[in-house]
Structures are given as structure tokens and as C-alpha cells.
Structure 1
Amino acid sequence: MMKLPPHMTGLLNSGASLSEMDQRARDIFRHVVETYLETGEPVGSRTVSRNGVHLSPASIRNTMQDLAHLGLLSAPHTSSGRMPTHQGLRLFVDGLLEIGDIGEDAKRDIEARLTGKGQTFDQALHAASNLLSGLAGGAGVVMTPSFEAGVKHVEFISLSAEQALTVLVFDDGRVENRLMPLAPGMTPSVLSEASNYLNTHLKGRTLSEARLELKSELDSERRKLDEAAATLIENGLAMWSGGDKEKRALIVRGRANLVEQTQSLEDLERVRSLFEDLEQKEELIDLLDDVKDAQGVRIFIGSESKLFSLSGSAVIAAPYMVSPQKGAAKVMGAIGVIGPARLNYARIIPLVDYTARILGRLLE
């Protein structure tokens, strides 16, 4: 087992520090947090005493009171035990949490589910979200990648009267196929006209650049283009470039897991609040964009993210990236787990990290 590496951190450090605690306080604090993460229940002094801290319940109680004054523990009710605050969880995760690698069986299972024969990358993203929600017991969330390579070639291929296959070849050698709905009256000549126009105007530009530049050009070119071809081009640019934040693809799986973990009416209210947070797609994408700026696992607890300030939830997320032959790795998207603040950090952190690495490998 090892401590959390420096690159696997949250946004904030708590006001209190481990240097303010003697060994007795550290041991008691660790036992309280680990027991709470396992049971979800406030922890009493007698429980700590039975779990290996060889002190009287009265001595343990006094130390727990001191930890409460530091803002690391709280008591939900006067007569109950103590539980870690979000500040306490942050201190535990940054300074005391021990994590290990996931087992070989788990690695093989993740690889098999993400790299199935004939599976597209989009299907791998959905599989990753489902996988994390199942293994971690929270909601798995994935943000689809944003590509910045220039476009080399575009081709529309008619599959039926209602659907076309779009083939995009990028400067970096990547080939991407996407299905597009067709409006009535789309003939092969219209598809050819749209392909020719895009190959003339898109070449060397990224999709996001092209969408901005061609929007105004299309208005003046519309008289030269078939109306159907112009509409196809506009719709294609909007879909390929991702559009605005609310149009960017976000995959969330495992909401039912959150309900299954509720143990009280108070927990149920938090889950309801979390569901409302999950519907705030734009803010959730902003959070995952923050993760993309990191080079490893990021952990957000409670109010460290404005998105979860009311539900008191936690997020464990990591960027997935490609490692080019030369230069720094390029971040493409992010993947993670969202759940109650008492997530099993030691187990979930390496799961998220390994899944993100497999997704990055699929893009290379």
C-alpha cells in the first residue's frame, strides 16, 4: 500500500494539518474516518477502543473533542458518535489514505470490457461509465473527447434515404466515422456537393475553427449551393465540433446505485439533491474540464466544487490522454465516479486511474 501520490489530489487543503496532531490523535482520527467510510455511521469512542486504539473510551472521547475543535470531526446529534467533516475527509485523503494497485483479474476485466472486438471508441466510453458505476457503487461519468487536429478529408456516404455515414480523416492520421440523419430529398449529388464544399473549405482547419469561420461564409455561399447541401453542411459542423457546452456529450450511468446506498431520510434528501446536480450538465462539464488540466486523479469533496455544495457529494475523476511519440501527452477527455462523500477512496482511485489509462491507449 502507498500514500496518495502528489498528482492525485483535490483542489484545497484543509486548514488543519497533520503536524498539529500527535500520534495518538492521528491514530484515533484514522480509525474514525476508516470506520465511517466502511459503515456510513457516526463512530463512538468505544468502537475506536475496540478497533485497536488501546486507550480508555474517556481518553479517546477527549481526543475526538479536540479533533472536532479543529474542524475535522462533527457530531450529527448530541448523543451520537463522531464522523469526519468534508475538511477532515480532505485531510485524510491527502495525508493518511493508503491506496494500492488493482488486482490482475480486475485489470483483465476492465480491458476486456473496453477493448471488445469490433467495439467503437464511443461504445468503449459507454462501457467505461457502466463499468465504473458497477464496480465503484456510485454514478460513473464520462466526458467525450474533444479533438483539435485539422481535417484532411470529408466524405458523405448514403446508407439509406434517412441516414448517411460521414467519414472524417484528420491530419494526425485518425479516421472517424459518424452516422447522420438525412432530411427528405437528399440525393447522391447533394451529398457529393456537400463533400466537395467541405473538402475545399475545411482542409487544415480544426472542426471548432471551421464551425466559426464557415457559419458566416455559408450565408453568402448559400445561393451557389443547393439548399439541402447547405443545411447538411451546417448540421454536420454543429454535430462534429460539439457545439456549445450543452450539446457536448456527457455519459452518466449508475444513478440507481446512489439510491441503494441511502440509509436514512437525510441521506435520501442528499441523493435527491445530487440528482438535481447531475442534471446541471454545463456545470458538470466545467468540473470535468478542470480535471483535464491535471495529469492524474483529482478528488473533489463537498463544497470544494460549487456543483456539490448542497448535496455534499464527492467526485473522483481522471483525464484520459494520448501519448504522442514526441512531446507531452495530450488530454482528450475525463472519466470519474460521483457519489456520497464516504466513497471508498482507496478502492476507487486506482480503478478510475486504470480505466482512464485504458481509454487513452485506445485513442493512440
Structure 2
Amino acid sequence: MTIALQFGAMLDPRAKTLLKTLIERYIAEGQPVGSRTLSKYSGLELSPATIRNVMSDLEESGLIVSPHTSAGRIPTPRAYRLFVDTMLVAQPPTDDAQVESTVRTQLRPGEPNKLVAAAASVLSNLSQFAGVVLTPRRSHIFKQIEFMRLSEKRILLVIVTPEGDVQNRIMATQKEYSPSQLSEASNYINANYANLSFSEVRKRLRAELEALRGDMTHLMHVMQEAVVASTEETSDLGEAVLISGERNLLEVADLSSDMDRLRKLFNVFDQKTSLLQLLEVSSHAQGVQIFIGGESNLVPIEQMSVVTSSYEVDGQVVGTLGVIGPTRMAYQRVIQIVDITAKLLSQALSQR
């Protein structure tokens, strides 16, 4: 049982209702919530004294705090965790349809890199926070290869991955090859090596070069070198993180009111290491994941939350996307945005 669920089991229905109301009002208004507001919005017939007693108990439990000298209270990261794990209700279908229509308009099937960039942008625009996408892992497998003659001794090698990513290499050769010879070489490689990893292709090429006709041997050696370069580039690049709308967070008082906090926030964007770790963790989980500041080293700022979901190509997880914002975010709506965007990006990437 998680800590959030343990706390939820300890709270009586009255305390849960007041805590839920307090969080919802704080998310909506951004101001510490007092007993009068709770009395008005909770729907409970409780005296101000009873509400204050319950709030005192919640404060002792570490679920709410009183900022400065304010009479009101605000939720802690622990309270947000309890809220998202046990108190959220599903959005109405009409809201889902509106978000889906907006996202679908932006994510039409096309070039993978452009689709991923569009996903980061739509996440940012809909949430008004920062959208982040861990780009598809570059495949170590090729689907198709083609040789194209550029000049007498220069050839363009085109490598197409199963994800639809296209990589180009210019190859220098010691002799001239005719278009028909290049076509024959392409057909041979596609027939014998397609859907194998680059490392497996290298092993088989080394073993089979001697069996090839002499006029193709040099071309295959050059092909082998190009495959090595592709493998090394894939390893060096690793995963890339695209971020859109990070400047939106400058408008969020919870994050921008403290210069040290702001510096930490933009260090997260500049270095990207912690984001990569967080998104990589998310890619191994099912459905939407919510990381709330202060819970783990993956979210280095207590006032920051990250809502993520993995996305797929042909049923295989290839990356993660999400929204970065303040802990005081409308989780219900952000979860909806992230979930729908992940599903529609998966559809668009799989329709090649």
C-alpha cells in the first residue's frame, strides 16, 4: 500500500471532503484556503470551530501547511499525492471529445520528427505549462536500404528504420557503379538483411563478403563502414528530449516567485539529465504517471509536478511525453491532455 493510500485510510470521510475541497479551491484560486471558504464549498454542515479542528489535524498529519502568517492553509506534496491517487473523478465525455479534436488536428500522420515536435507543442498549448517529449529511440534495426548514384564515385546510402526514420550517408567508392549495380546491391541487402540489427548485419557481411562477386565486394565493404557509422551515431546521440513552452512557467507564481527555485527549474531544462531519467522511468509503466515535487530525486523542485505517459509505434513503446507544471495544477485536465496526446501520437506514428 502506498503512503498516499495509507493516509487516505486514516482519514475519516469528513476530513477527506474538507481536504479535497481545500485542494480544489487552492488549485482554482491560488490563495490559502480558510475555514469560511471550506464551509461554503464543502457541502458539509459544520461549525467554523469543527472545521478548524479538522484542519489542525490535517496540518499535524503533514497534509496542509499555513504559509507565513496567513489564516488559510495550502496543500503539501503529500496532500497532492493523496488527491491524485484517491480523489480524482473522470472528466465528462464532452471534455474528452474537445481535447481529442484539438490534439487530432495537430497530430496528423507524417514525418516522425515533426509529429513529436507537434506533440510537445500541443501539450504546452493545451496545458499552458511546458510540454516535454522523449523522442523515439533510434532503432538499431533497418527496414530498407537504398543506394543512389550521386556522381562517378559518390553514392547516397538511404537507411529507413521500422519507425519511419530516414538516415542518409554519402559514401565514397574506389570505382564507378552503374544504377543497375546499385539497385542489385540494394535488393540483395533488403532481401537478406532487412529487420536485422546493425551489429548482426556487420557479422553476416564479414562472413559473406568472400562469397560475393568481385564487382560487389568493395561496395559491400563501404556499406559495412556506413553501417558501423550508423550504429555509433545512434549510440552517441542517446535519447533526445524536446521541450516546448518552458517560458509559460515564468507566469506561474508558485515557480517563479523565488529566484533560487527559478534557477533550479531552468537547470532542469538546460541539463535535461533528470528529465531523461524521469521519462525513462515512465516508459516502463502503464498509463499516466504523476510525479509530484518533493517525493523523489527525479523531481528536484518541491513546487513542480510532472504528468507523463508512454507512447508507441505498432504496439511497441518508443518514448514518453508529458507536461511539466506547478504542483498547483488542474491534475484532472492535465492527465486528460497527456493521456489523449499519447494515444493519438501512437496512432499517427503507426500510420505510415
- What TM bracket, shorter-length normalisation? 0.7 to 0.9
Aligned counterparts, 1:87-102, within 5 A: 87-100=78-91, 101=93, 102=95
1:34, distance to aligned residue in structure 2 (A): 0.5
TM-score, length-scaled by structure 1: 0.76
Q: 1:167 to 1:55 in 2, by over 3 A?
A: same
Aligned to 2:212: none
Q: Residues 321, 13 of structure 1: CA spacing in aligned structure 2 closer, same or farther, 3 A cutoff?
A: farther
Q: Would you say how many aligned residue pairs link Structure 1 and Structure 2?
A: 335
The residue identity in structure 2 corresponding to 1:110 is: V
Structure 2 letter corresponding to 1:360: S
Which of the residues 337, 342, 346 maps onto 1:360? 346
Matched, 1:254 2:248: no
1:166 pairs with one of 150, 158, 170: 158
| Shift in Å, 1:332 | 1.9
Residues 246-276 of structure 1: CA deviation (Å, up to 9, x unaligned)? 6322211111111112268645543331211
Say yes or no: does 1:110 pair with 2:103.
yes
Q: Is the 8 A contact 1:154 1:169 kept in 2?
A: no
Matches for 1:132-281 after TM superposition, within 5 Å: 132-146=123-137, 150-157=141-148, 166-168=158-160, 170=162, 176-180=164-168, 182=170, 203-207=194-198, 209=199, 232-239=226-233, 242-244=234-236, 247-262=238-253, 266-267=257-258, 269-281=260-272
What's the CA shift for 1:31?
1.0
Q: CA deviation at 1:69?
A: 1.0
Q: Report if aligned partners of 1:273, 1:311 keep a CA contact under 8 Å in 2.
A: no
Is the alpha carbon distance of 1:250 and 1:283 closer, same or farther for their aligned partners in structure 2, counting shifts above 3 Å? same
State the identity %. Answer: 33
Distance (Å, rounded) in 1 between the aligned partners of 2:297 and 2:13: 34
Q: Which amino acid aligns with 1:235?
A: A
Give the structure 1 partner of residue 326 of structure 2.
Answer: 340
> Structure 2 vs 1, CA of residues 104 and 196 (structure 1 numbering), >3 Å: closer, same or farther?
closer
Instruction: Say which one has the larger Rg.
Output: 2
- Greater Cα shift, 278-287 or 178-187: 178-187
Shift of the 333–82 alpha-carbon distance from structure 1 to 2, 3 Å rule, reads same
Structure 1 residues 167 and 16 mapped into 2: Cα distance closer, same or farther (>3 Å)? same
The equivalent residue for 2:209 is none
In structure 2, runs of 5+ residues without a counterpart are 207-217
Aligned-pair distance for 1:151?
Answer: 3.1
Give the RMSD, CA atoms, in angstroms. 3.9
User: Is contact 1:316-1:336 (8 Å) kept?
Assistant: yes
> Post-superposition shift, 1:147?
6.2
Is 1:258–1:271's contact at 8 Å kept on the other side of the alignment?
no
Instruction: Tell me, in whole angstroms, the C-alpha distance in 2 between the residues paired with 1:189 and 1:30.
Output: 73
Tell me how far apart the structure 2 counterparts of residues 54 and 163 of structure 1 sit (CA, whole Å).
80
| Greater CA drift, 42-51 or 23-32 | 42-51
AA aligned opposite 2:230:
G
Task: Give distance in 1, aligned partners of 2:130 and 2:189.
Answer: 39
User: Residue 337 of structure 2 corresponds to which residue in structure 1?
Assistant: 351
Q: Which amino acid aligns with 1:107?
A: E
CA separation in 2, counterparts of 1:48 and 1:22? 16
Following superposition, the deviation at residue 230 of structure 1 comes to 6.9
**Residue 169 and residue 302 in structure 1: after superposition, are their counterparts in 2 closer, same or farther (change >3 A)?**
closer
Higher helix share: 2
Cα deviations across residues 317-348 of structure 1 (Å, max 9, x unaligned)? Answer: 1111245xxxxx42221111111111211101
| Cα distance in 2 between the residues matched to 1:292 and 1:285 | 11
